[in-house]
Structure 1
Amino acid sequence: MALKQQLQQKQQQRLSPLQMQVIKLTELPNIELEERIKQELVDNPALDEGHDDSDDLQNGSDNEDFDDSSNITQEDIALGDYLTEDDIPDYRLTANNSSTIAREDIPFSSAESLHEFLIDQLHLTELSEDDAKIAEYIIGNIDENGYLDRPLNAISDDLLFQQNIDVTQESLKRILEEVQSFEPAGVGARDLQECLLLQLRRLPEDTAVNNAIRIMDRYFDDFSKRHFDKIKRSLNVDDDELKQVIQVITGLNPKPGNNWGDALSLTMNTIIPDFIVEAYNGELFMSLNNRNIPELRVNREYSEMLRGYSENKKGVTADTKNAIAFVKQKLDSAKWFIEAIKQRQETLQRTMQAIVDLQYDFFLTGDESNLRPMILKDIAELAGYDISTISRVSNSKYVQTNFGVYPLKYFFSESMQTDTGEEISSREVKAILKECIENEDSKKPLTDDKLADILKEKGYIIARRTVAKYREQMNIPVARLRKNL
């Protein structure tokens, strides 16, 4: 096939650097926006904190044309800071954001980690040097919940290829049992069954503990599925004895490592609301939480420097051209960043105001039954934005109210109708389902069919499969798994 050249003219949509900035900043929650601004202040000397009392921003934008014979174009200067691999805009409608600040800059809890706690205990054992190395490798494969997340044969292969240690399966199992004898009880288990058995075997022996060990060892699946009648027949125990066994087992910790993870989780999951909605005397007042967001301005010295270069067009050298390009680039970057922050704030303000207008009764009372059906399209029409923009705003954002802190996604729900034709939120139906399940007879829990019948009696025409969907969304198990003695 012959090669040939040809000219082709076509139109393409291309995002400006300002649009890229706005898209990226709109997705960020408050805490990440603070870090992003701090990083921009460090990276760009033309950006300063504080109120802009002069017209330098406008003056800087007027001096864009520097007429010389260089090949520096406006596009080359403007886009230089933006079109990098790290600045490709994210068009997805789901949140998958991460801060641009390095993780080590985030303050972590200084408490001892689970791995450090286990290593300290390892140093107190009488294992040989080689066995201690193997035990340390095993500890390194224990996850934050305290479970060994790799099979022993895979660990054996790793030790052989990475550390040139050839260990048999029997020796590896013996060393693992040594690690499993460490505190907390249950650490190093390979599954839930083994974890519970490790804890039971450390308890003082009595009839209930012995029965619990037998159930966990032989009838774990039956116990998980709450086939209590089968267990009673197999072990020849009555209801009272089985209740004692259940009490012992439910007192165990299914995640022995979580005591070390709680402090870190709380540190990482601290919520800083992006919006504040307060109710006073029957009126709502909405504001953005800008407490830690600094006011930004363009550095006056850089604006004057660019103006000086622009006015002095004689004796232009290569170094002067490079200086002009650098100063212009940093000024443009600063101006676009400031404008992007302003547009972000305006977008968030209008979007949140639309949500408040639709959910006015809820913000006044905090009553979940007052939540109206609301989807992204409803807010997009009210706020005058695209649905994708509303999705970006609602992802990872929180609002502080008189009744608690809520994620914005909490206010979005499907629309349903009662038998009278009244439109209600699916969240109201979930609240009724949850109440019915909480008040059910634990010996005869309500099936999905029965729950659907109860809802129909209350005027909510809902199919059984819809009841099952809502129950699963609320992480409520099926009736069989909710059954108790």
Structure 2
Amino acid sequence: MLKQFLQLKLSQKLSPQQIQLMKLIQLPTQAFEQRLKEEMVENPALETGKEEDEYEYEKDEFENEEYDDYDEYENDRIDAEDINIDEYLSNDETPDYKLQANNYSDDDEERTMPFAAPVSFHQDLINQLNTFILNDEEREIAEFLVGSIDDMGYIRRSIPDIVDDMAFTQGIYTDEKNVEKILHVIHELEPSGVGARDLQECLLLQLKHKTPTEAVDLAIDIIENQFEAFTKKHYDKLLQKYGVSQDHLKKAIEEIEKLNPKPGGAFTGNNKMVEHVVPDFTIRIVEGELELSLNGRNAPELHISKDYQEMMQTYKASRDKSNQQKEAVQFIKQKLDSAKWFIDAIRQRQETLFVTMNAIMHYQQEFFLDGDETKMKPMILKDIADMVGLDISTVSRVANSKYVETPYGTKLIKEFFSEAMKNDQGEDVSTLEIKKILQNVIEEEDKHKPLPDDQLADILKEKGYPIARRTIAKYREQLDIPVARMRKKM
């Protein structure tokens, strides 16, 4: 049985402009510049630079009765191909030859930027194979093995799998003995350790390329026969096993620590693009006071094209309005509306960024004045949102991917946010402060007898921070600090 009834419901929906504004706010400086360039290409009604007599385009200016008639013949529109938009956009007063320059002299130095053409990691290994005498079959196997090496320098596949793969994919029929033989050739390539199947083999290959000494020989024996004891840092067991002095074992351990566990990593790392961080804000100390500034690249000078404004004025003044003109003016009006909104959105973005960062700066004033991380106050998104009267999600967008240049280095803004914990006096302290103190305690510990988590908890308790052992473990992991046994040194 069907029933009809009325239901009142209050809902909140974001307009397309609000959604795009949120996207603009969360963009860091470089991404914002790219977005600005895209908008300039898409909207010819938007121009950069100053304009002395800036024309304030009002959205409702041309929404008169004549313009509203547009909907009456919307279904009878003329095809876009019949509309010559160039008549509205072109500027025939300036000939092409005046826009060209050919005033170079023979003495002018041609300055070009050289581009590096680095050889890839795998191509470098292939080039090294040319120094070995190999027949055609061995060469094919060697090149296949080089192709199986990952970016870290390892072959993470078994010999039987490689034999099967060569047969099925390359039509190369061989046996495990031949592959093992060619693998030894691969192990002679540089950097040392390349082509290893696991970490143990990688370290052994590098040690065997070293000049033999007592320390190197002991290191080889340890990696070959006592690898598990070494990885778990059971030094007492190693001393008992080999019957050597602690100094002798220490030298062998130092030889191992000099090795590269990722032989391919150093090579491939040179070819990676370096990401440069562009600070969105700058905080300086001027006469004992904090001074905040927004990166100028976030505040471009934009205005609406006068050509487009004149087109609208021409249409308004004309008495006879054809379908073609109305189609064209609809396009022009759309671009003008979009340009006006984009300019307003950028201004609102600037204000939102500055107001939010200014609140963060004053909230963490003690830190910004002397750079002592232990003076960082507990601060959550809601604290700043309440101060500036913005939504928490807006503050999150500002803090998430923005950087601020301070007298103590460039820092990610979201790093200033932290939870609060109670100290022994019942005061709220930042978890960042506790982590910094924990890090200092671990740095000052005796590395021969590193402190376990329960002892670290006792030390912090003595300093006035009653924290459970499991919390110490959580903070230690967040700081990328290993357990006590792995921090032990000879």
Alignment TM class, shorter chain as reference? 0.7 to 0.9
| Structure 1 residues 423-450: Cα deviation after superposition (integer angstroms, max 9, x where no partner) | 2212222222112111211121111111
2:446 maps to 1:441? yes
Residues 298, 350 of structure 2: 8 Å contact kept: no
Tell me how far apart the structure 2 counterparts of residues 395 and 251 of structure 1 sit (CA, whole Å): 38
**SS in structure 1 opposite 2:57?**
helix
1:117 and 1:70, CA in 2 relative to 1: closer, same or farther beyond 3 A? farther
Aligned match for 2:276, one of 270, 273, 283: 270
Aligned match for 2:336, one of 316, 331, 335: 331
1:71 and 1:464, CA in 2 relative to 1: closer, same or farther beyond 3 A? same
What residue in structure 2 maps to residue 465 of structure 1? 470
**SS in structure 2 opposite 1:441?**
coil
What residue in structure 2 maps to residue 418 of structure 1? 423
Which sits farther off after the overlay, 244-253 or 322-331?
322-331
* CA shift for structure 1 position 162: 5.2
2:205 maps to 1:198? yes
Tell me how far apart the structure 2 counterparts of residues 186 and 296 of structure 1 sit (CA, whole Å): 57
Aligned match for 1:212, one of 196, 219, 243: 219
Residues 108, 264 of structure 1: 8 Å contact kept: no
* CA shift for structure 1 position 398: 0.8
Which sits farther off after the overlay, 115-124 or 342-351?
115-124
Tell me how far apart the structure 1 counterparts of residues 472 and 432 of structure 2 sit (CA, whole Å): 12
Residues 29, 297 of structure 2: 8 Å contact kept: no
What residue in structure 2 maps to residue 370 of structure 1? 375
* CA shift for structure 1 position 58: 1.5
**SS in structure 1 opposite 2:24?**
helix
| Structure 1 residues 96-143: Cα deviation after superposition (integer angstroms, max 9, x where no partner) | xxxxxxxxxxx9965444334323324444445565455445445544
State the AA in 2 paired with 1:47.
L
What residue in structure 1 maps to residue 154 of structure 2? 147
2:253 maps to 1:246? yes
State the AA in 2 paired with 1:385.
L
Tell me how far apart the structure 1 counterparts of residues 487 and 174 of structure 2 sit (CA, whole Å): 45
What residue in structure 2 maps to residue 29 of structure 1? 28
Aligned match for 2:387, one of 382, 388, 401: 382
| Structure 1 residues 43-81: Cα deviation after superposition (integer angstroms, max 9, x where no partner) | 332222112434435146633563322338xxxxxxxxx
| Structure 1 residues 355-403: Cα deviation after superposition (integer angstroms, max 9, x where no partner) | 1111011111111121101111111111222222222111121110111
| Structure 1 residues 12-58: Cα deviation after superposition (integer angstroms, max 9, x where no partner) | 64432322221222222112212222232233322221124344351
What residue in structure 1 maps to residue 98 of structure 2? none
Identity of aligned residues (%): 49
What residue in structure 2 maps to residue 63 of structure 1? 62
Tell me how far apart the structure 2 counterparts of residues 301 and 150 of structure 1 sit (CA, whole Å): 66
What residue in structure 1 maps to residue 101 of structure 2? none
What residue in structure 1 maps to residue 78 of structure 2? none
Which runs of structure 2 are paired with 1:253-332 in the superposition (5 Å)?
253-264=260-271, 267-291=273-297, 294-312=300-318, 314-317=320-323, 319-332=324-337
Tell me how far apart the structure 1 counterparts of residues 134 and 60 of structure 2 sit (CA, whole Å): 72
Residues 281, 404 of structure 2: 8 Å contact kept: yes
Residues 21, 337 of structure 1: 8 Å contact kept: no
Residues 351, 390 of structure 1: 8 Å contact kept: yes
1:118 and 1:58, CA in 2 relative to 1: closer, same or farther beyond 3 A? same
State the AA in 1 paired with 2:358.
Q
1:362 and 1:207, CA in 2 relative to 1: closer, same or farther beyond 3 A? same
Residues 25, 344 of structure 1: 8 Å contact kept: yes
Structure 2 unaligned regions, length at least 5:
76-113
Which sits farther off after the overlay, 185-194 or 142-151?
142-151
Tell me how far apart the structure 2 counterparts of residues 322 and 9 of structure 1 sit (CA, whole Å): 40
* CA shift for structure 1 position 410: 1.7
Tell me how far apart the structure 2 counterparts of residues 195 and 17 of structure 1 sit (CA, whole Å): 56
The normalised TM-score by structure 1 is: 0.82
Residues 355, 379 of structure 1: 8 Å contact kept: yes
Tell me how far apart the structure 1 counterparts of residues 34 and 15 of structure 2 sit (CA, whole Å): 23
* CA shift for structure 1 position 9: 9.3
State the AA in 1 paired with 2:39.
E
**SS in structure 1 opposite 2:216?**
helix
1:191 and 1:336, CA in 2 relative to 1: closer, same or farther beyond 3 A? farther
RMSD between aligned residues: 3.2
* CA shift for structure 1 position 453: 0.8
Tell me how far apart the structure 2 counterparts of residues 288 and 250 of structure 1 sit (CA, whole Å): 45
Task: Count the aligned residue pairs.
Answer: 448
1:439 and 1:204, CA in 2 relative to 1: closer, same or farther beyond 3 A? same
* CA shift for structure 1 position 304: 2.2
Tell me how far apart the structure 2 counterparts of residues 287 and 108 of structure 1 sit (CA, whole Å): 36
State the AA in 2 paired with 1:376.
L
Tell me how far apart the structure 2 counterparts of residues 308 and 149 of structure 1 sit (CA, whole Å): 72
Residues 109, 263 of structure 1: 8 Å contact kept: no
What residue in structure 1 maps to residue 86 of structure 2? none
Tell me how far apart the structure 2 counterparts of residues 270 and 292 of structure 1 sit (CA, whole Å): 17
Residues 17, 336 of structure 1: 8 Å contact kept: no
What residue in structure 2 maps to residue 352 of structure 1? 357
What residue in structure 2 maps to residue 46 of structure 1? 45
Aligned match for 1:121, one of 116, 125, 128: 128
Tell me how far apart the structure 1 counterparts of residues 308 and 209 of structure 2 sit (CA, whole Å): 71
Tell me how far apart the structure 2 counterparts of residues 127 and 5 of structure 1 sit (CA, whole Å): 86
**SS in structure 2 opposite 1:314?**
coil
Tell me how far apart the structure 2 counterparts of residues 110 and 57 of structure 1 sit (CA, whole Å): 51
Structure 1 unaligned regions, length at least 5:
73-106
The normalised TM-score by structure 2 is: 0.81
Tell me how far apart the structure 2 counterparts of residues 45 and 62 of structure 1 sit (CA, whole Å): 20
Residues 30, 278 of structure 2: 8 Å contact kept: yes
